[in-house]
Amino acid sequence: MTARMNERFAALKAEGRPAFVTYFMGGDPDFETSLEIMKALPAAGADVIELGMPFSDPMADGPAIQLAGQRALKHGQTLARTLDLARRFREIDNRTPIVLMGYYNPIYVYGVEKFLDDALAAGIDGLIVVDLPPEMDDELCIPALAKGVNFIRLATPTTDEKRLKTVLRNTSGFVYYVSMNGITGSALPDPSLISGAVGRIKAHTDLPICVGFGVKTAEHARAIGAAADGVVVGSAIVAEIAASLTAEGAAGPDTVASVVRLVRSIADGVHASRLVAAE
């Protein structure tokens, strides 16, 4: 596997704080702006970057991420250009892990082997592909692991004890626990339920557990970060981008700055979580 992911989680563990995992859509609202956003994320507090690959039919996403994908596609984003974003980011940052997140079809059409080679060359550390459950591991998961690209799986509230073993097999990097049954950007459920679920998964794996879906504020992040090894924020960042755009959907004067502001404030929540937990 690429070293960046394990090094980052090991370092955070040594520091005694959870990872802040930030998601944004590659190419939203346009290539240059999203590159600027990406470059600004580590300094704003992001420990791991999830880079969204736009898809025309994002079946597991709520309205915020659906619209972000549409904006990106409208401005000519493609899978090749999303890999370009990562490559450009690596020119200034070779330590922050990058995880590509999206749906299988663009990868399938690009060609799995070529995609994995190009992703490694671009500095990608892992993949989250929503519509590839363990039953479909031959498609991408096994080839990815063989080339040293982490394959990060989603576990959900519908994943029972028996299934958890199936889900954790062939999973690497970290486990992404989806906090509720639903689409991205929905309301956050009771944090105590989440900490129970995280504990249940931890009994079966030594991998870090990151929790996402519904985390929108510093307060949420602090509550989740108390139990989990990482907190994922996506729709809130994407919604912040949307709110900053001009009426025509182009980047506004404050787009990058407002994202940085939001990420910084949530990062404060993440960093404060263990302090609270220790009290």
Partner 1 sequence: MNQTPKLNSFRSGPDEDGRFGIFGGRFVAETLMPLILDLQGEWEKAKNDPAFQRELADLGTHYIGRPSPLYFAERLTEHLGGAKIYFKREELNHTGSHKINNCIGQILLAKRMGKTRIIAETGAGQHGVASATVAARFGFPCVVYMGATDVERQAPNVFRMKLLGAEVKPVTAGNGTLKDAMNEALRDWVTNVDDTYYLIGTAAGPHPYPEMVRDFQSVIGTEAKEQVLEAEGRLPDLVIAAVGGGSNAIGIFHPFLDDESVRIVGVEAGGRGLGGVEHCASITAGTPGVLHGNRTYLLQDQDGQILEGHSISAGLDYPGIGPEHSWLHNIGRVEYVPIMDQEALDAFQLLTRLEGIIPALEPSHAIAEVIKRAPQMGKDEIILMNLSGRGDKDIFTVGKILGMEM
Q: Active-site residues: which are they?
A: 50, 61
Residue 60 binding partner 1, by CB under 8 A: yes
98 vs 40: CA distance, rounded Å: 14
CB of 95 to partner 1, least distance (A): 30
- According to CB under 8 A, which one of 9, 31, 110, 151 is a site residue for partner 1? 110
Half-sphere exposure of 53 (CA within 13 A, CB side): 28
Closer to partner 1 by Cβ: residue 134 or 143: 134
Q: Whose CA is closest to 59, among 156, 179, 178, 184?
A: 184
CB of 70 to partner 1, least distance (A): 9
Residue 62 binding partner 1, by CB under 8 A: yes
Q: What share of the chain is helix, strand, coil (3-state, %, to 5)?
A: 50, 15, 35
CB of 159 to partner 1, least distance (A): 6
Q: What are the DSSP calls for 150-163, one per residue?
A: EE--EE-TT--HHH
- According to CB under 8 A, which one of 55, 89, 151, 174 is a site residue for partner 1? 55
Site for partner 1 in 180-239 (CB under 8 A): 181-183, 186
Residue 136 binding partner 1, by CB under 8 A: yes
Half-sphere exposure of 268 (CA within 13 A, CB side): 8
Number of C-beta neighbours around residue 275 at 10 A:
12
- According to CB under 8 A, which one of 2, 33, 66, 273 is a site residue for partner 1? 66
